[in-house]
Structure 1
Amino acid sequence: MNSVTSTDATTPATDFEVHAARGPFNAAFFSVMGPNLEWNLRRHKRRVFADLPRTVVELGSGVGANLRYLPTGSTLVAVEPNPHMHRRLRAAADRAGVRLDLRERGAERTGLPDHSADTVISSLVLCTVREPAEVLAEVRRILRPGGTFRFVEHVAARPGTPTRWLQRALRRPWSWTFEGCSCERDLAAAVRAAGFARVAVEPFRLHTPFVPFNTQIAGVAYA
């Protein structure tokens, strides 16, 4: 894969900006805060990530938070455009006993063949991409018939609620800090509109100090 040295360059096959400050910050943030986030999300992840196959494609693998849900000896095809995440991701895969096929690409263009994946997973990723519909179309393209897209994502709160007000008030600094992350997307509607054969979605709420992050969904979409 190509290396990126310029602070305003983009990685191959993605519009992701490799930023000299945000990239390292997010890698460090999710390394430090990962255990706390997993503690809050674990029940929902255990449900939707149960019984994963031996090879899984993950969009936005980050520093490897979801490796714990893969069987030892399995393969993770990790689509992760932020090179600052890669060192920690490789180390986490080694500790988990998971073979890592790391691809420095965006979720919009994974480079994988049509109908080549049994399962695609994501967590806290669709909030960061520029066009969720484009990413979901890519997921459908690479999934085999009957394959599953399993996701845990944070979404917009109901209109008129204090959480929704805070999401709107903080949208610009939040987006800048967390690599374009938006707290204002109806991702359940986006997945339902993406053309999957069937979609099951459960909304839930976390209780963390990161209030704009607390409204979430977990679900499975079937190709």
Structure 2
Amino acid sequence: MIDTTPTTPSTPTIGFELHRRRGPFNAAFFRVMGPYLERSLRPRKRRVFAELPREVVEIGSGVGANLAYLPAGGRLIAIEPNRYMHARLRSAAQRHGVQLELHEAMAERTGLPDHSVDSVISSLVLCSVADPLAVLAEIRRLLRPGGTFRFVEHVAAADGSVTRAAQRILRRPWAWTFEGCSCERDLEQSILEAGFASVSVEHYRLQTPFLPFNTHIAGTAQA
């Protein structure tokens, strides 16, 4: 039996604005665009999320794009403050046969126990958190020694490039539309400086109409 009972508070999480327009828009956008984005990201996700343990914490689970990479019968502890995502996330967990423990919490303060999991994952999330360094510190706190943080994220393009110029021009409307998402973060450097024992990073580029989104990193950091 799949337990999809959420552990959500009765009021919106402090620090996250449940916007009545942006929230439903993003939930619908990622449901509709999910298959397209997944086709582009799948080669890296297959590598980075290979052989995940049966229990995984995911920062920003959204509508469940990464459930397919968990083992059947596994358990996802989902940190997702956008309540508008929850119904689709629960449905996706049922479809994939994954037990879901859903927390309406901020990634900076998950409320989970110290050193309680072997793997934390994220995809397209560190761009939108309020404090990436605080989130990375929280991830390290959650991981057992030797555990892994596995990530697929979009990042700032090289200075002087057309993509970088587009990221600068569109940064404000992009951030407003996509719940604070920034196209200009050097997330690789943040991960390298977060205190992990080792970090492996791959740089790659997507070819999509969403130009500010096209520069990416994927990799693994070990606690």
With the length of structure 1 as denominator, give the TM-score of the two structures. Answer: 0.96
Residues 17-76 of structure 1: CA distance to partner in whole angstroms, max 9, x if unpaired? 110000000000000000000000000000000000000000000000000000110000
User: Per the alignment, in what secondary structure is the counterpart of residue 115 of structure 1?
Assistant: coil
C-alpha distance in structure 1 between counterparts of 2:103 and 2:72, whole Å: 20
Name segments (4+ residues, structure 1) moved above 6 Å.
Answer: none
Deviation at 1:2?
1.7
User: Per the alignment, in what secondary structure is the counterpart of residue 218 of structure 2?
Assistant: strand
C-alpha distance in structure 2 between counterparts of 1:83 and 1:162, whole Å: 36
C-alpha distance in structure 2 between counterparts of 1:129 and 1:196, whole Å: 19
Matched residue type, 1:31 = R
Match of residue 196 from structure 1: 196
Matched residue type, 1:178 = F
Match of residue 114 from structure 2: 114
Matched residue type, 2:102 = L
Q: How many equivalent pairs are there? A: 216
Match of residue 27 from structure 2: 27
Match of residue 4 from structure 2: none
Match of residue 79 from structure 2: 79
User: Per the alignment, in what secondary structure is the counterpart of residue 185 of structure 2?
Assistant: coil
C-alpha distance in structure 2 between counterparts of 1:125 and 1:16, whole Å: 14
* Structure 1 unaligned spans of 5+: 5-9
C-alpha distance in structure 2 between counterparts of 1:29 and 1:89, whole Å: 14
User: Per the alignment, in what secondary structure is the counterpart of residue 66 of structure 2?
Assistant: helix
Match of residue 102 from structure 2: 102
Match of residue 3 from structure 1: 10
Correspondence list, 1:59-208, <5 A:
59-208=59-208
Residues 83-114 of structure 1: CA distance to partner in whole angstroms, max 9, x if unpaired? 00000000000000000000000100011111
Correspondence list, 1:204-215, <5 A:
204-215=204-215
Deviation at 1:15?
1.1
Matched, 1:16 2:16: yes
With the length of structure 2 as denominator, give the TM-score of the two structures. Answer: 0.96
* Structure 2 unaligned spans of 5+: 1-7
Computed over aligned residues only, the root mean square deviation of the Cα atoms, in angstroms, reads 0.6
Residues 153-179 of structure 1: CA distance to partner in whole angstroms, max 9, x if unpaired? 000000000000000000000000000
Matched residue type, 2:171 = R
